Amino acid sequence: MSDLVRSTPRGPWDLAGKTVAVAGGGSVAPGWSIGRAACVTYARLGATVLVLDRDLSSAQETARFITEEGGEAYAYEADMAREQDIVDTFRSLAMRHAPLDVLHHNVGIGKTGGPMETSAEDLDRIHSVNVKSLMLSCQAVLPSMVERRTGVIISIASVAGLRYLGYPHLAYCTTKAAVIQMTRMIAQQYAPYGIRANTVIPGLIDTPRVTANVAHMFADNLDEAKAERARQVPMQRMGTAWEVANACAFLASDSASYITGTELLVDGGLVGKFV
């Protein structure tokens, strides 16, 4: 076998033998959230998947999808808003599943409103889940990644971290912007240790959370609300959780071995649009 052939992964995004932890791998409502679709995609590519969520039953449901397909997955309850929970969870993962190859930080919460509608407590709570937990999770996984001179960090931001989406969503937008920059900073500092860190930036994705919480902002009728959201996108449709998951899988794999400190937009062209 030539060196050229040997250096090409078996599948384009092969994850066989890798262990991936997804923080926020459940779903706030039944169906395919981004974290759940990512967990299943990682498993289909051969990874062992550790599903973390504050909602244990939701994490277990994700793990069940995987094991029913013959994959390997374990569910853990972890509240990423609580520092001690993060420390304890990653310590126990290190004992049971070490080494961890990929950290996928998926948790994200928000509250609509601008500065007058957002309390200091709201901002602190949203910052804790969206930003502080990313740093604390990285603190937990980086030492062993440094020791092994390999590792991947994938964070999930949002187009809301880059653009005003037509309604005030101050705490969400600013914390998602912070996710992007925090990931870039980590990527720069840890690149010499063989660790890659990138952000996936989803656009308007049709997940159960959107049906439950976001769609009503566009219209009273859910179908009309979703159609209005779709019309905003140059591709004229919302994305699926699977389309975001595919981008994550690529970044997690060795096919992305020279990609770090950057962002991958999965937005149907939304951010490039003028109006």
- Shortest Cβ 53–ligand NAD spacing (Å): 5
153 binds ligand NAD (CB under 6 A): no
Q: Which listed range, 94-102, 190-198, 208-216, 247-255, lies at the site for ligand NAD (CB under 6 A)?
A: 208-216
Please report, as residue ranges, which positions from 213 to 272 form the binding site for ligand NAD (by CB under 6 A): none
53 binds ligand NAD (CB under 6 A): yes
Q: Quick one: which of 45, 66, 80, 270 contacts ligand NAD (CB under 6 A)?
A: 80
Least Cα distance to 155 among 23, 243, 41, 15 occurs for 23
Please report, as residue ranges, which positions from 121 to 140 form the binding site for ligand NAD (by CB under 6 A): 129
| CA–CA dist 113, 115 (Å, integer) | 7
**From 164, 172, 190, 193, active-site residue:** 172
Which residue is closest to ligand NAD by CB?
Answer: 108
Q: Quick one: which of 19, 33, 198, 199 contacts ligand NAD (CB under 6 A)?
A: 33
Q: Quick one: which of 41, 118, 137, 207 contacts ligand NAD (CB under 6 A)?
A: 207
204 binds ligand NAD (CB under 6 A): yes
76 is catalytic: no
156 binds ligand NAD (CB under 6 A): yes
Q: In what order do the strands lie in the sheet containing 19-23?
A: 72-77, 48-53, 19-23, 102-105, 151-156, 195-202, 263-266
Q: Which listed range, 40-48, 51-59, 162-170, 218-226, lies at the site for ligand NAD (CB under 6 A)?
A: 51-59
Q: Quick one: which of 39, 44, 79, 171 contacts ligand NAD (CB under 6 A)?
A: 79
55 binds ligand NAD (CB under 6 A): yes
- Shortest Cβ 23–ligand NAD spacing (Å): 6
Q: Mark 162-201 with x for binding to ligand NAD (rule: CB under 6 A) and - for no binding.
A: ----------------------------------------
Place of tokens 């699926």: 240
Find the helix packing angle between 133-148 and 170-190, rounded to 10°: 20
- Catalytic positions are 172
> What does the binding site for ligand NAD look like in residue numbers (CB under 6 A)?
24, 26-28, 33-35, 53-55, 58, 78-81, 106-109, 129, 156, 158, 202, 204-205, 207-210
